[in-house]
Amino acid sequence: MDKAEQEQHTMQLQDILFAQGFGTRRVCAGLIQQGHVLVRSAATGEWQPCVDAGTEFEPEGLRLRVQGLDWVCHVRACIMLHKPAGIECSQKPSAWPSVYTLLPAPLRQRPNKGAVQGVQAVGRLDQDTTGLLLLTDDGQLIHRLASPKHDVPKVYEVTLKHPADTSLCAKLLAGVVLDDDPRPVRAAACELADPLHLRLTLTGGKYHQVKRMVAAAGNRVEALHRSQIGGLKLPPDLAVGQWRWLQAQDLALLGV
C-alpha cells in the first residue's frame, strides 16, 4: 500500500485518536465514550458528538474537537516551527528548554513509527540559533532532508561581529578547512547584504558549521537565523515560537 492509499483507508475513531497522540487506546476509548470527542461534519460543518469508539472515519483531514481542543488529523506529522533563541532541539535538553515544549501535547505524544520515535526535528539548530525548523514522524522525509547525499540547500542569515567585504564571500565560496576535516568545506552560495549581514547557503550539516566556517574565514558570528530550507522560506507571518502544518505546496518546495 503506497502513502496515498494509506491516507485514504478508514480507521476506528479510538485508533485515530491514538495515532494523533491523544493517549493510549484505552484512554482514547474513554474520551470517546464519555462524550469528550466531537467530529465535524464535512457536509454541514456542524460538530457532532461520537460516543462509539469503533466508528470508522477516513483519518486524513478529519476535524475533531477533543476536550475543547480543535484538531485536524494528519496521518503523518509534518510541521514547520519558528525556533526562538534559548531553546534546544533535543528531547532531553541539558541546559535550556526543549523545542518540543512549544508543541501541543498531541504532537509531543504521537506514537513511534518504526525507528522514528514520535515527532523528530529534521536536523538541529543550536540553542542560540533562530529560524526555520522542520519536525516530522516520517522517517523517509527525515532521511531525504537530512542526508548530505541529497544536498538540500539551507539559507542562513548571519550577523557578523566585524564589518566584512566581498573577500569574505570569496573565501567561503572557495572553501575553508575546519579542524575536524582536512578537506575544504565550501558554501553553495554567499551574499554580503551589508557589511555586518552575510547570507550563506550550505548543503552540508556539520556541527556548528556556519560558525566554524565564518571563523575559519577570519570573522565571527554574532547571531544566526535560518531563513530557508530547499525552496521553502520561513513565512513572515509565522511568529517566533509558533508552528504550523506543512501543506502540499510546502512539501513540493522541499522537493518531496
Active-site residue set: 126
Phi-psi region of 167 (alpha: psi -120 to 50; beta: other; left: phi over 0): alpha
Q: Phi/psi zone of residue 253: left (φ > 0), alpha (ψ -120 to 50 degrees), beta?
A: alpha
Q: Which of 140, 75, 78, 129 is nearest to 103 (CA)?
A: 78
**What gap in Å lies between CA 187 and CA 19, rounded to an integer?**
40
For CA atoms 48, 51, 56, 61, give the dihedral sign: positive
Interatomic CA distance for residues 99 and 96, integer angstroms: 9
